A = this chain, B = another copy of it.
Amino acid sequence: MKLQGPRGTRDFYPEAMAWRRRLEDAWRTVSVRHGFEEVDGPIFETQELYKIKSGDGILSEIFHVRHPQGDAEFAIRPEFTPTLARMVAARANGLPKPIKWFATPNFCRAERPQRGRLREFWQWNVDIIGAEGALADAECILVAVDLLREFGMTSQHVVVRISHREVVRQILLRLGVAEEKLTEAFELLDRREKMEHDAFVESATLLGLDGAKVERFLQMCRRRYPVGEIDHLARSIGMEEGFESLRELEEQLIGFGIGDWCAYDLGIVRGLAYYTGTVFELHEASGMERAVAGGGRYDKLIELFGGPKMSAVGFGMGDVVLTNVLQDKGLLPEDVTPQPDVFVLASSEAGAGSLRRVIADLREAGVHARFSYKSTTNVGKLLKEANQSRARFALLLGDAVSDGEGELKDLDTGDQQVVKLAGVADRLSV
Contacts and interface: CB of A to CB of B under 8 A. Distances in A.
Contacts of A389: 35
Interface string A147-190: 00100000000000000000000000000000000000000000
A356 interface: yes
**Contact size class for A?**
35 or more
A212 to B, nearest CB: 41
Interface in A65-79: 65-70, 72, 74, 76
A90 B17 CA distance: 17
Contacts of A110: 67-70
B257 A357 contact: yes
Given A13-B91, A44-B63, A63-B66, A256 B359 contact: yes
B62 A68 contact: yes
Interface in A264-287: none
A211 interface: no
Interface string A346-365: 00000001001101110110
A228 interface: no
Interface of A: 1-6, 9-14, 17-18, 20-21, 28-29, 32-35, 37-46, 48-49, 52, 59-70, 72, 74, 76, 83, 86-87, 89-91, 96-98, 101, 106, 108, 110, 120, 131, 135-136, 138, 142, 146, 149, 252, 255-258, 305-306, 337-338, 340, 353, 356-357, 359-361, 363-364, 366-371, 373, 388-389
